[in-house]
Amino acid sequence: MSAITRDEVAHLARLSRLALADEELDHFAAQLDQIVGAVARVAEVAADDIPPSSHALPLTNVFRPDEIRPSLAPEQALSGAPAVEDDRFRVPRILGEEA
Amino acid sequence: MADTETLMPYDEALERFEPVLGLETHVELGTASKMFCGCPTEFGAPPNTQVCPVCLALPGSLPVANAEAIESTIRIGLALNCSIAEWCRFARKNYFYPDMPKNYQISQYDEPLCTDGYLDVVVDGRTVRIEIERVHLEEDTGKSTHVGGSTGRIHGADYSIVDYNRAGIPLVEIVTKPIAGTDTLAPEVARAYVTELRELVRTLGVSDVRMEEGSMRCDVNVSLMPRGSSEWGTRTETKNVNSLRSVERAVRGEIERQAAILADGGRITQETRHFHEETGRTTSGRSKEEAQDYRYFPEPDLLPIAPDREWVAALKAALPELPSVRRSRLQAEWGVSDLDMAAMHNADAIELVEATVAAGAPAADARKWWMGELARRANEAGTALAELSITPAEVARVTELVASGALNDKLARQVLEGVLAGEGSPDDVVAKRGLQIVNDEGELSAIIDKVLADNADAADKVRSGKVAAVGALVGGVMKASRGKADAARARELILEKLGVS
Ligand SMILES: [Zn+2]
């Protein structure tokens, strides 16, 4: 398992829209490396007789009743948006000109 | 429009090619709260007022499935004769598009809740079984508005603005297996299927299925193969066809378009197409040949669903009477022909007739008025029958007034006109317009005397035994009374006065 590089952390941070300081990049690179290493151990024990699973707990049918809970106020909802227009999230052009 | 195409006339297209259809229908469930969070689902709320950390995908939030939505989906599956999975999961459908803030949609992939069902529809007296591939549960997306550019479309827009009120509303997708062998009836079969499905879902009470508000949306797949071929052609998928009429037009238009291309030696591009309500034509959207890989995987934030068998059996036992069963029952009760029943079904008149009968009218009368005068008026006004401003109880009252002899059919039509014009109840209209039949024998007798005097020739003919000539005299009486005379009684009195009884 190759180590997670500082550049890879910077790339992930950019994708996640997180502003990380230089020392944080080093810090998280080491941590992520450990996490990836821990996950890799699963592959070592996953033999043919162990069925794949999508959840750690042997539970099913966890539902909530159909009841309304308070929503956020629009100004709260929009507070993290890079751009807002007419109480909506404003996003850059999605598709270019029609071919 | 960029791709204006030649079309082959429908009849010619069907002489050369056989269509194969597929329909994917999305139904927004009418739950109070969203699929995975407690936000309300009300239509038309101000933008971004029905959102929370879960449906905005804020870090640290976790979805929990809405029990009611699961139950509604199972009920739809049962009503469509599907098998209900003993164990299934949600899956992430990954795509990068701003209508889903998570960058994935929670959907179902290879483990849908319901599989392998069918729905029978009747078209032109022929029953067609539409096989259902799957019914699965997912979440709706947000609503984007494209700003700038000339057309308000996504192409050429400068930017887009997004309202996430709709994001996370439970959405049931119902997918048919390929529908072959419908031949020239393909457009009608497609429409009949969506109509029947809409009625079924409405009967279950799980959605308001309003196509104009988008709570029911249809994607139409069409391909053509040369007659006699067994190999299906390349299909196109026409998205978001949002009325029953449009379903039919989209199939027909796509058959005409593809036939022209194939006959010209061209090939069909597998692509998404957009339906245009104004023209009934489709235009090319994104091409599926550059199809994205959605990288589906089991949703780790949600636990598997394992519907208890006893619960499923109980839900099945508690299903309401389904539309086709109900129609058969009503047809037998009302004693009408297949043709008349189909006409009522197509006119969306069955519920109205049923309610009118429930309000005391004989079935034949209820049908006569809804399918006759009222259908004509709805047609003139360009509205649906149910949108007319008259209630089944009012129609029942009119039939009662006719049965009692207080009105004849001609006056009854005027009463209906008055009710539709907002002049009040049938009794109000009768009183205000003075529409009572002339039952006063003295008044009627005086009118007849005048008519006989004015039409001496006709009167003589009747006296001399040509009883057929009485029709003109009755007509004269009806005219003189401005339609208020009881025609049958007038005829009796005329014959009596002329000594021919
Ligand atoms: Zn929410």
pLDDT tens readout for residues A26-69: 999 999 999 998 888 888 887 788 887 888 888 999 999 999 99
Domain match, B262 and B380 both: no
CA gap B139, B171 in Å, rounded = 5
- Of B390, B410, B433, which residue sits at a domain end? B433
Q: Is the residue at B1 inside a domain? A: no
Domain match, B338 and B247 both: no
Q: Between the CA of residue B4 and those of B150, B282, B283, what are the distances in Å? A: 19, 9, 8
Domain match, B169 and B253 both: yes
Domain match, B281 and B372 both: no
Domain match, B420 and B456 both: no
| Contact assessment for residue B342 and residue B196, using Cβ atoms and an 8 Å cutoff | no
Q: Is the residue at B3 inside a domain? A: no
Domain match, B305 and B266 both: yes
Q: Is the residue at B4 inside a domain? A: no
Q: Between the CA of residue B263 and those of B222, B255, B289, what are the distances in Å? A: 16, 12, 22
Domain match, B420 and B447 both: no
- Contacts of residue A42, defined as CB under 8 A and 6 or more positions apart, other chains included, come to none
Contacts of B58 in chain A (CB under 8 A): 80
Each residue's pLDDT tens digit, B314-329: 999 999 999 999 999 9
For residue B83, the model assigns a pLDDT of 98
**Domain A6-45 annotated CATH 3.30.420:** no
Q: Phi-psi bin for A13: left (phi > 0), alpha (psi -120 to 50), beta?
A: alpha
**Domain extent listing, chain A:** 6-45
CB contact under 8 A, A89 and B2: no
For residue B346, the model assigns a pLDDT of 82
For residue A68, the model assigns a pLDDT of 98
Say if B311 is an interface residue toward chain A (CB within 8 Å): no
Q: What is the ipTM of this complex?
A: 0.80
Q: Is the residue at B5 inside a domain? A: no
DSSP B374: I
| Contact assessment for residue A9 and residue A36, using Cβ atoms and an 8 Å cutoff | no
Mutate to test the interface with A, among B3, B48, B312 (most CBs of A within 10 A): B48
Domain match, B255 and B353 both: no
User: Is the per-residue pLDDT at A90 higher than 80?
Assistant: yes
- Of B252, B281, B312, which residue sits at a domain end? B312
Domain match, B474 and B423 both: no
A98 band by pLDDT with thresholds 50, 70 and 90: very low
Q: B376-387 burial string, b = 16+ CB within 10 Å, else e? A: ebbeeeeeebee
For residue B501, the model assigns a pLDDT of 66
Domain match, B413 and B451 both: no
CB contact under 8 A, B161 and A93: no
Instruction: Give the domain extent around B113.
Output: 10-312
Counted domains in chain B:
3
Q: Is the residue at B54 inside a domain? A: yes
For residue B2, the model assigns a pLDDT of 43
How many beta-carbon contacts under 8 Å exist across A and B?
134
Say if B263 is an interface residue toward chain A (CB within 8 Å): no
Both tokens of residue B146?
């494209």
Domain match, B417 and B482 both: no
- Of B278, B312, B346, which residue sits at a domain end? B312
Say if B81 is an interface residue toward chain A (CB within 8 Å): no
- Which residues of chain B, if any, have pLDDT below 70? 1-4, 150-155, 286-291, 439, 501
CB contact under 8 A, A93 and B49: no
Domain match, B146 and B214 both: yes
Report DSSP letters for B56-78, one per residue. TT-TT----EEHHHHHHHHHHHH
CATH of the domain at B491: 1.10.10.410
Per-chain mean pLDDT for chain B = 91
A1 band by pLDDT with thresholds 50, 70 and 90: very low
Q: Is the residue at B2 inside a domain? A: no
Each residue's pLDDT tens digit, B359-368: 999 999 999 9
CA gap B152, B279 in Å, rounded = 18
- Contacts of residue B445, defined as CB under 8 A and 6 or more positions apart, other chains included, come to B493
Q: Is the residue at B317 inside a domain? A: no
Residue B1's Cβ-count burial label (10 Å; 0-12, 13-18, 19+) is: exposed
For residue B146, the model assigns a pLDDT of 87
CB contact under 8 A, A54 and B298: yes
Q: Is the residue at B385 inside a domain? A: yes
CA gap B15, B13 in Å, rounded = 5
A99 band by pLDDT with thresholds 50, 70 and 90: very low
